[in-house]
């Protein structure tokens, strides 16, 4: 099993920045890729960004391209999401997730492990 704990959420004004962190522990050898998802009230959970655990390709939804950057620190077993130029529509609960499958993507069903989430509010 893999445990994921997010941090770094908060309230910012439009145009501001936040950096989310996700600390992973447990049987992380099972993890092939990790991602960030978000869910706003009344909306479905959507994938924001993903990355292969071994490094390499990253994937983003169109609405955050050029503004968000996903990265990881293998030594610290931590995933990051740097969010710049934040907009009110970025307001949501942000979740860290990990998946064991072969192909990295932004589909919720690809991920087996989920954190509890961290709230991001942009006004």
**Band (102; pLDDT cuts 50, 70, 90):** confident
Residue pLDDT, tens place only, 47-84: 999 999 888 789 999 999 999 999 999 888 999 999 99
Q: Over pLDDT 70: what percentage of the chain?
A: 100
Q: What are phi and psi of 7, to 5 degrees?
A: -155, 165
SS3 53: coil
Among 110, 107, 83, residue whose Cα is nearest residue 94 = 83
What's the Cα-to-Cα distance from 87 to each of 23, 63, 67, 80, 115, rounded to whole Å?
26, 10, 10, 19, 23
């Amino acid at each position: 099993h893999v445990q994921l704990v997010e941090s770094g959420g908060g309230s910012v004004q439009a145009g501001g920045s936040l950096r989310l962190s996700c600390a992973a522990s447990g049987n992380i050898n099972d993890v092939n890729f990790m991602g960030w998802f978000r869910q706003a009230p009344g909306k479905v959970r959507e994938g924001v960004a993903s990355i292969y655990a071994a490094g390499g390709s990253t994937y983003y939804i169109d609405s955050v391209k050029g503004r968000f950057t996903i990265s990881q620190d293998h030594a610290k077993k931590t995933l990051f999401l740097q969010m710049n130029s934040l907009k009110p529509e970025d307001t949501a609960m942000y979740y860290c997730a990990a998946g064991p499958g072969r192909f990295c993507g932004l589909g919720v069903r690809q991920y087996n492990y989920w954190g509890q989430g961290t709230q991001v509010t942009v006004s």
